[in-house]
Amino acid sequence: MLELRLVQGSLLKKVLEAVKDLVNDANFDCSATGFSLQAMDSSHVALVALLLRSEGFEHYRCDRNISMGMNLGNMAKMLKCAGNDDIITLKADDGSDVVTFMFESPTQDKIADFEMKLMDIDSEHLGIPEAEYHAIVRMPSSEFARICKDLSSIGDTVVISVTKEGVKFSTRGDIGTANIVCRQNTTVDKPEEATVIEMNEPVSLTFALRYFNSFTKATPLSNTVTLSLSSELPVVVEYKIAEMGYIRFYLAPKIED
Amino acid sequence: DPKQGNILSFFKKS
């Protein structure tokens, strides 16, 4: 028996909007730790890891570890039917091939049940090793989204370079080139507006911009985003989900032959 | 042009 009640149902709606275009089908894993997902995009260039900790749910019952295969497009369709203020409850019986999403309006005057078919998905769980990153950049998530969108109108790839000067995002295309430098800036009114750069070593990596633009669909989940970079390792683009966990996107760099 | 890397060459199946 599985029963997860999330008072801030909009979080789950936002999570699905953030991942549904990157990954088609995925297994959601439920354990005492929480509700999690790990999946790669179909070309195995990017990986998404989601964790919503059990403590973040108002009610969390998971009698045994369970893995539920879902089509994320269909799940997003169902969650779109929940209001932004609704409480969302996920329910599944042991051995069942369906999951039920229950949406309750805040005043309890409307209660809806949506039942979705589960699917068998062969997925490979990957071990993500702990790594010491050469540089970690924290910046407003809206600023990062703006940079990715702007650069993708010029080129297809972005070079991210971190030096003591700051973090530089560069692209080039048929019409010309673009460079955007963000310097560390901690003298802001609110901490979430700061750009903070921790650099152990300078690092420069090249990535496909279209993946970054997909990751920025997670922007509504967090005011800030963290980029962790090391040479010849996938970049980690992390959006923290307040009081619940995180959504992390890993993107393999482009590598010189 | 640099070649696109693959996640599976960095992270191993667990």
Question: Would you call A125 and B7 a contact, using CB atoms and an 8 Å cutoff?
Answer: no
Test the A interface: residue of B4, B8, B12 with most A CBs within 10 Å: B4
| Residue matched to tokens 């972005």 | A158
- Tell me whether residue A213 is exposed, middle or buried, using C-beta atoms within 10 angstroms of its C-beta: 0 to 12, 13 to 18, 19 or more: middle
In this complex, which of B3, B7, B13 lies closest to A234 when CB atoms are compared?
Answer: B7
**CA–CA distances in Å: residue A52 to residues A33, A116, A163, A170, A216:** 9, 21, 34, 34, 19
Q: Which pLDDT value is given to residue A232?
A: 81
Q: Element (H or E) spanning A13, and its range?
A: helix A10-19
Smallest CA–CA distance, residue A61 to chain B, in Å, is: 26
pLDDT digits (tens, 9 = 90+) for A202-239: 999 999 999 999 999 999 999 999 999 999 899 999 99
How many angstroms separate the CA atoms of A210 and A213, rounded?
5
Beta bridge partners of A227: A137, A237
pLDDT digits (tens, 9 = 90+) for A137-190: 999 999 999 999 999 999 999 999 999 989 999 999 999 999 999 999 999 999
pLDDT at residue A257 above 80? no
Partners of residue A46 in chain B, C-beta under 8 Å:
7
Q: Which residue in chain B has the smallest CA separation from A207? A: B4
A141: left (phi over 0), alpha (psi -120 to 50) or beta: alpha
Q: Which residue in chain B has the smallest CA separation from A251? A: B7
Complete DSSP assignment for A52-93: EEGGGSSEEEESS-EEEEEEHHHHHHHHTTS-TT-EEEEEE-
Q: Which pLDDT value is given to residue A42?
A: 95
Beta strands in A188-234, from DSSP E residues, in sequence order: 196-199, 203-208, 224-229
Q: Which pLDDT value is given to residue A220?
A: 98
Question: Would you call B13 and A250 a contact, using CB atoms and an 8 Å cutoff?
Answer: no
A80: left (phi over 0), alpha (psi -120 to 50) or beta: alpha
Could you give the percent of chain A with pLDDT greater than 70? Answer: 100
Mean pLDDT of A2-27: 97
Read off the pLDDT band of A23 (50, 70, 90): very high
Q: How far is CA A63 from the centre of its chain?
A: 27
Beta bridge partners of A238: A226, A248
Residues of A contacting chain B (CB within 8 angstroms): 40, 44-47, 124-129, 157, 206, 208, 233-234, 250, 252-257
What mean pLDDT is reported for chain A?
A: 96
Q: Which pLDDT value is given to residue B7?
A: 96
pLDDT digits (tens, 9 = 90+) for B1-14: 789 999 999 999 88
**CA–CA distances in Å: residue A231 to residues A19, A29, A219, B13:** 26, 31, 25, 22
